[in-house]
């Protein structure tokens, strides 16, 4: 699950960093240049994490190939699973370290949304605005659809959503609070204190 989620995340980061999207950019410290293209900044860290995560997802099949025809009980064949599992744990740890040290350096292009090619994402918002002004949903829908079809659609981009989970109120503070509550319930601090006591004794 970890490698699948992180692999998709890094794929999104690489995609949104591409010229056609240009949603994200990175400082030079975490990119590499091109030998022939002066403008190029390759997101190597994220590409390598993506590749590593894709490779980690083959681990269950690799383990199965060792144990698939074994009878019940323990067999020496299982020793070979260590050659797969132990490096995989290290790779996961390395991916954690890399992603935590680079994601915070991502720079978001907040002006990307002003590109006219994204105007249509406001179509539903503009339908809802007309409904709130008293137009029936059907008429509002048909009016916006017609303006899009004939090329006259000029979206109102001001968004006033306030309900939890909306664009105007994503609820990140509440999510962070709940996440911290779950993390604190694991008692990592107690574990660290006991570990330190053992080391010092």
pLDDT at 3 over 80: yes
Structural domain span for residue 139: 115-150
- Which CATH number belongs to the domain containing residue 91 in this structure? 1.20.200.10
Helix/strand/coil for 107: strand
Q: Give domain status of residue 172, yes or no.
A: no
What is the distance between the alpha carbons of residues 69 and 22, in angstroms, rounded to a whole number? Answer: 50
* In contact, 148 and 120? CB cutoff 8 Å: yes
Identify the domain boundary among 111, 133, 165.
111
Whether residue 104 sits in one domain with residue 86: yes
pLDDT at 193 over 80: yes
pLDDT in tens, 109-163: 999 999 999 999 999 999 999 999 999 999 999 999 999 999 999 999 888 777 8
Whether residue 97 sits in one domain with residue 26: yes
Whether residue 17 sits in one domain with residue 81: yes
Q: What is the DSSP letter of 87?
A: H
pTM over 0.85: no
Look at strands 24-25 and 107-108 and give their pairing: antiparallel
pLDDT in tens, 34-64: 778 877 788 999 999 999 999 999 999 999 9
Whether residue 129 sits in one domain with residue 31: no
What local confidence, expressed as pLDDT, does residue 112 receive?
Answer: 92
Q: Give domain status of residue 169, yes or no.
A: no
Give the count of domains, the chain.
2
């Amino acid at each position: 699950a970890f490698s699948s989620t992180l692999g998709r995340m890094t794929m999104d980061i690489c995609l949104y960093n591409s010229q056609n999207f240009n949603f994200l950019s990175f400082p030079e410290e975490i990119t590499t240049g091109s030998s022939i293209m002066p403008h190029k900044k390759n997101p190597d860290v994220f590409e390598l994490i993506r590749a590593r995560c894709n490779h980690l997802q083959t681990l269950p099949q690799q383990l199965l190939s060792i144990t698939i025809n074994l009878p019940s009980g323990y067999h020496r064949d299982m020793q070979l699973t260590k050659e797969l599992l132990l490096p995989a744990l290290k790779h996961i740890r390395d991916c954690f370290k890399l992603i935590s040290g680079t994601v915070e350096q991502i720079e978001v292009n907040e002006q990307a949304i002003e590109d006219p090619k994204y105007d249509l994402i406001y179509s539903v918002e503009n339908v809802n605005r007309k409904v709130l002004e008293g137009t029936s949903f059907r008429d509002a829908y048909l009016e916006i659809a017609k303006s899009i079809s004939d090329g006259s659609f000029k979206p109102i981009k001001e968004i006033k959503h306030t309900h939890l989970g909306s664009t105007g109120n994503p609820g990140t503070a509440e999510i962070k609070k709940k996440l911290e509550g779950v993390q604190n319930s694991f008692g990592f601090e107690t574990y660290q204190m006991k570990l330190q006591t053992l080391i010092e004794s």
